Amino acid sequence: MPLTGRLRNLGYDAFLRVDTGGIVETDIADGCHAATCDYTTVATALQRLEPGPDDVLVDIGCGKGRVVCVAARMQVGRVIGLDLGPAVVRIASDNLQRLRGARSPAEVVLADAVTYDYRDVTCAYLFNPFEHFVLDRVLMKIRDDRAGRPFRCLFLNLSDVQRETFTRHDWLTLTDEGVLTGHRFAQYRSRLA
């Protein structure tokens, strides 16, 4: 990222009283390191996802909590950050406690995305949190937990293998795809019976 972008992100972090930047290595099997997009990309992705007062938004693989913090400043029914790394969950929780201007209830949870209870979750944000075979299991769990009720998600930093994984889940329909600040994204919505 260019220096101006890094400085802009540091400025947003300072204004919000959080520290969400950088990369944190994790020792999670089949997971990725904790990293985030710049604030502009996060805000644009959340605008595309359109979480509202009746939604429960989960950031699956929330890392240090940038998306959770940005979403908590919106009018969302509830915001949940979900991660399997204890160190980043502590950091994200601290960031959420210090966050300036929160307007929505928010929390960060230490949990496995494969076994998490998604019954109340109406929308999800994923920034390439794990390998495609884990994504497959998470999507199956969401399908089972939502049981025909509305659900939508945005996956950022999409690879061809992950796109293929989504394609195999016929309970989801692709609603949009493209590139946001250099990151491939795809949006999906559940097919209702």
181 secondary structure, DSSP code:
T
Which structural domain range is residue 131 located in?
3-190
Confidence of residue 3 (pLDDT cuts 50, 70, 90): confident
Q: Given this model, what pLDDT does residue 187 score?
A: 98
Domain total of the chain = 1
Which range among 33-42, 114-123, 183-192 shows the weakest confidence by mean pLDDT?
Answer: 33-42
pLDDT of amino acid 29: 61
pLDDT in the model for residue 37: 82
Question: For residues 1 and 100, what is the distance between their CA atoms, to the nearest angstrom?
Answer: 25
Q: How far is it, in rounded angstroms, from Cα 35 to Cα 102?
A: 22
* Residue listed under structure tokens 């999800």: 124
**pTM metric for this prediction:** 0.91
For residues 112-140, give the mean pLDDT.
Answer: 96
Question: Rounded distance, CA 12 to CA 10, Å?
Answer: 5
Residue-wise pLDDT for 51-102, tens only, equals: 999 999 999 999 999 999 999 999 999 999 999 999 899 999 999 999 999 9
- Spell out the residues 6+ positions from residue 144 whose beta carbon is closer than 8 angstroms to its own: none
Which of 84, 165, 80 has the alpha carbon at shortest distance from 124?
80
pLDDT at site 32: 58
Taking CA atoms, 98 is separated from 47, 94, 139, 151, 164, in Å, by: 23, 6, 32, 30, 39
pLDDT tens per residue, range 5-56: 778 878 888 888 898 877 666 665 655 555 678 899 999 999 999 999 999 9
Residue 129 has pLDDT above 70, yes or no: yes
Residue 153: give its domain's CATH number.
3.40.50.150
Q: How confident is the model at residue 158 (pLDDT cuts 50, 70, 90)?
A: confident
Query: What's the rounded Cα separation, in Å, for the pair 192 and 185?
Result: 23
Instruction: Name beta bridge partners: 187.
Output: 154, 176
What does the DSSP 8-state code read for residue 192?
Answer: P
Quick one: DSSP state of residue 64?
A: T
Residue in 49, 190, 61, 181 with CA at minimum distance from that of residue 131: 61
Residue 191 DSSP symbol: P
